[in-house]
Structure formats: C-alpha cells, structure tokens
Amino acid sequence: QVQLVESGGGLVQAGGSLRLSCATSGRTFSSYTMGWFRQAPGKEREFVAAISWSGSFTNYADSVKGRFTISRDNAKNTVYLQMNSLKPEETAIYYCAADTQPYARWRVVVPSSYDYWGQGTQVTVSS
C-alpha cells in the first residue's frame, strides 16, 4: 500500500501564497498520476490540479488556472502545489491523491479515479 502525507497548510490573508507538499511512500511514486483536491464544509470534493508521472502533462481547474502550479520531484517522492493570489472562498481541506492507472485527462478530474489519499491539510484564507 501507499501512504501520502500533506503539509504546508495554514492561515493566510487574501492575496497571499502557500506551498503545499505531499510526501509519498513506496518505490513506485514515479509511476503515479498525482492530484490535488479540496473540500470545504458542506461542499463536494473538488478537483484542483493533477500531474502525470513524468510531469509532461498537467491539468487545472478553471478556477485556479494562472494562480496555482502543480509540480513533482520523483527523486524525492514529493508533489507540490504552489498557490498564489489566494481567495477566501478557497478555504478548504486540501488533499493529495495518487492514481496508479495511466494518465488520462478525463480520469484526473474524478475523485473515484484515485487509489490512495492523504489525510489532508487545512488552508484558511481570511478576508
């Protein structure tokens, strides 16, 4: 099995930035498509960003394009989410997830595609 641990969440003012990290276990990290999702109270879990195993392909929710950047360092078994110009409505728990199936654009936006999930890290954006 694979374990994922998120870190880097916290409290920021609107317009501020945070960098989230997701550390993964196992030797097969480089084979996984990695995604970030978020869930606010009373809301559905929402796709944020995804990256293929090689880093060649990325996908972003329309709401975060131009402000968030997903990246990965396979040598460190870590995926990152750089979040800039944060908005209060983006307050949520942010989750890292891993998909063991080959990358496909239609798959990465669907939570049920992912095989492993972290426990989440809280991001709070104040106005």
Quick: pLDDT tens for 102-119.
899 999 999 999 999 999
- Beta-bridge partner residues of 95: 37
Whose tokens are 């994922």? That residue is 4
Are 33 and 98 in contact by the 8 Å Cβ rule? The answer is yes
Instruction: Give the model's pLDDT for residue 42.
Output: 94
d(CA 109, CA 50): 8
Low-confidence ranges of the chain (pLDDT < 50): none
d(CA 3, CA 119): 10
d(CA 13, CA 34): 27
